[in-house]
Amino acid sequence: MINVTKAYLPDKEKLFRYIDKIYESAWLTNNGQFCQELEVRLKEYLGVRNLILVSNGTLALQIAYKALDISGSAVTTPFSFVATASSLLWEGVRPIFADINPKTWNVDPEKLEEIISPDTSAIVPVHVFGNPCEVEKIDSIAKKHKLKVIYDGAHAFGVKYKGKSLLNWGDVATLSFHATKLFHTIEGGAIITSDDELAKRIRLLINFGITGPDKIDCIGINCKMNEFQAAMGLCVLQEMDQILSARREIWEFYDSELRNNFQTQEWNAWGTKNYHYFPVIFSTPDFLISKQKALNENQINTRRYFFPSLDSLPFCEAKERLTNSNNIASRILCLPIYCGLNSSDQKRIIEILK
Ligand SMILES: *Cc1c(COP(=O)(O)O)cnc(C)c1O
């Protein structure tokens, strides 16, 4: 079976050497040496000022909302993984959806501004499939309306915008290090901010609000990453160049073969690519379903990312259905892309699609 993605497994010997060290120290969690080392390495690799490791990408979003005192409602995109909206609801914040740009599939800044109300306290955009949002426009809307911006950067690992990390935009950006993501720690995530005081507050929140041996300052929760996760992360990070070049080759082959047959994502001209996903748009939902079936009969498993559009989920209580998001969501399919997908399998996928 060829799946839409396959978790990257780094060199086993290398991982086992890290695990031997964990056994020697018997320090399994609570900001151990590998968590500390991974934070430093990721800050360098990504080019960001503060990075706090957490146990997954959904909690990264939840902690970001808490640390920034987000309440009432937040304006966001309906075209994303469910965690973007459900994390808001979980924190008692109502997601209000603005429609997306039908070419870039990112939230449309003009539509975002239209739905801002006195109740709104934040903007939560997503760099969908790693494609940078219109960050300058979103930034000026946020300043004008005095709103916080939290970017869900779960797909944007390593993406540069105008030569610098895309993740520097917003009050906070979050990452997911889930096994299926470009860079992973099995389960995991990170919170990124340029604000040192905010970073301090986040570190408190993820460890029960504890500030010293006998001192608890505020209500916190437990979102710590453990040493086994960090060891996996250190190993994967050392192999990022291989991961990226393998994905790039697959991505470019799909692009050259399918660009003329399918609508593909219009990429932000100032952004670099990270080759995380290869989504294509079919002319109709029925055509998509018939091709997905044909692929499936050939043991090729694709995924309808992101379907359904989040405004259609009853628990999101959206006032209206958003045209572009529902239209794209109903016709989009993500093709298999991962380090290790061989070219004969990829050719088979392309043949079936054509
Ligand atoms: C994967 C993902 C998340 C959630 O991350 P987890 O680490 O699985 O909790 C959030 N938002 C988006 C857009 C994602 O793709």
Looking at residue 312, what is its pLDDT? 98
CA 275 to chain centre: 13
Structure tokens at 20: 């031997």
Structure tokens at 150: 């939290």
Q: Verify that 330 and 184 share a domain, yes or no.
A: no
Per the domain annotation, does 4 fall within a domain? no
pLDDT digits (tens, 9 = 90+) for 70-81: 999 999 999 999
Per the domain annotation, does 118 fall within a domain? yes
Looking at residue 286, what is its pLDDT? 98
Tell how far the Cα of 56 is from the centroid of ligand 1, in angstroms: 8
Nearest residue (CA) to ligand 1, atom 7: 57
Other C-beta atoms closer than 10 Å to the C-beta of 241 total 8
Kindly give the number of the ligand 1 atom that is closest to the alpha carbon of 180: 1
- Pairing between β-strand 189-193 and β-strand 50-54 as defined by DSSP bridges: antiparallel
Q: Verify that 41 and 164 share a domain, yes or no.
A: yes
Q: What is the largest CA-CA distance in the chain?
A: 66
Q: Verify that 173 and 245 share a domain, yes or no.
A: no
Kindly give the number of the ligand 1 atom that is closest to the alpha carbon of 58: 9
Q: Which of 175, 178, 187 to mutate to test the pocket of ligand 1 (most atoms within 8 A of CB)?
A: 178
SS3 284: coil
Element (H, E) at 14: helix 12-25
Tell how far the Cα of 230 is from the centroid of ligand 1, in angstroms: 18
Per the domain annotation, does 102 fall within a domain? yes
Nearest residue to 124 via CA among 73, 176, 182, 55:
73
DSSP secondary structure string, 249-291? Answer: HHHHHHHHHHTTTSB-PPPPTTB------EEEE-SSHHHHHHH
Nearest residue (CA) to ligand 1, atom 10: 83
Q: Verify that 183 and 277 share a domain, yes or no.
A: no
Q: How many helices (H) and strands (E) does the chain have?
A: 12, 13
Q: Which residues does a 6 A CB cutoff place in the pocket of ligand 1? A: 56-58, 80-81, 83-84, 126, 152, 154-155, 176, 178, 189
Q: Verify that 158 and 301 share a domain, yes or no.
A: no
Q: Which of 55, 58, 310 to mutate to test the pocket of ligand 1 (most atoms within 8 A of CB)?
A: 58
Q: Verify that 226 and 248 share a domain, yes or no.
A: no
- Chunked into runs of 10 residues, the chain (354 residues) has average pLDDT values of 94 98 98 98 98 98 98 98 98 98 98 98 98 98 98 98 98 98 98 98 97 95 98 98 98 98 98 98 98 96 95 97 98 97 96 96
Tell how far the Cα of 174 is from the centroid of ligand 1, in angstroms: 9
Per the domain annotation, does 226 fall within a domain? yes
Domain that holds residue 22: 12-238
Per the domain annotation, does 7 fall within a domain? no
Distance (Å, whole) CA 6 – CA 310: 25
Per the domain annotation, does 5 fall within a domain? no
Q: Verify that 28 and 150 share a domain, yes or no.
A: yes
Q: What single-letter DSSP state applies at residue 160?
A: E
Q: Verify that 189 and 311 share a domain, yes or no.
A: no
Q: Verify that 189 and 265 share a domain, yes or no.
A: no
Tell how far the Cα of 58 is from the centroid of ligand 1, in angstroms: 6
- Please report, for residues 123, 199, 208, 226, the alpha-carbon distance to residue 205 in angstroms, rounded to integers and kept in the order given: 21, 10, 6, 16
- Please report, for residues 38, 58, 158, the alpha-carbon distance to residue 29 in angstroms, rounded to integers and kept in the order given: 13, 20, 26
Q: Verify that 149 and 65 share a domain, yes or no.
A: yes
Kindly give the number of the ligand 1 atom that is closest to the alpha carbon of 80: 13
Per the domain annotation, does 3 fall within a domain? no
Kindly give the number of the ligand 1 atom that is closest to the alpha carbon of 181: 1
Burial call 196-227: b when 16+ CB within 10 Å, e when fewer: eebbebbbbbbbbeeeeeeeeeeebeebbbbb
- Pairing between β-strand 278-281 and β-strand 210-212 as defined by DSSP bridges: unpaired
- CB within 8 A of 248, min separation 6: which ones? 273, 275
Looking at residue 178, what is its pLDDT? 98
pLDDT digits (tens, 9 = 90+) for 259-309: 999 999 999 999 999 999 999 999 999 999 999 999 999 999 999 999 999
Q: Verify that 260 and 338 share a domain, yes or no.
A: yes
Tell how far the Cα of 194 is from the centroid of ligand 1, in angstroms: 22
Tell how far the Cα of 57 is from the centroid of ligand 1, in angstroms: 5
CATH number at residue 301: 3.90.1150.10
Q: Which of 176, 277, 307 to mutate to test the pocket of ligand 1 (most atoms within 8 A of CB)?
A: 176
Per the domain annotation, does 6 fall within a domain? no
Looking at residue 41, what is its pLDDT? 98
Domain boundary among 214, 238, 262: 238
Q: Which of 55, 81, 88 to mutate to test the pocket of ligand 1 (most atoms within 8 A of CB)?
A: 81
Q: Which of 63, 124, 152 to mutate to test the pocket of ligand 1 (most atoms within 8 A of CB)?
A: 152
Tally of domains in the chain: 2
Nearest residue (CA) to ligand 1, atom 6: 57
Looking at residue 248, what is its pLDDT? 98
Tell how far the Cα of 192 is from the centroid of ligand 1, in angstroms: 15
Domain boundary among 238, 268, 288: 238
Looking at residue 61, what is its pLDDT? 98
CA 10 to chain centre: 21
Domain boundary among 199, 221, 238: 238
CA 220 to chain centre: 24
CATH number at residue 214: 3.40.640.10
Q: Verify that 20 and 84 share a domain, yes or no.
A: yes
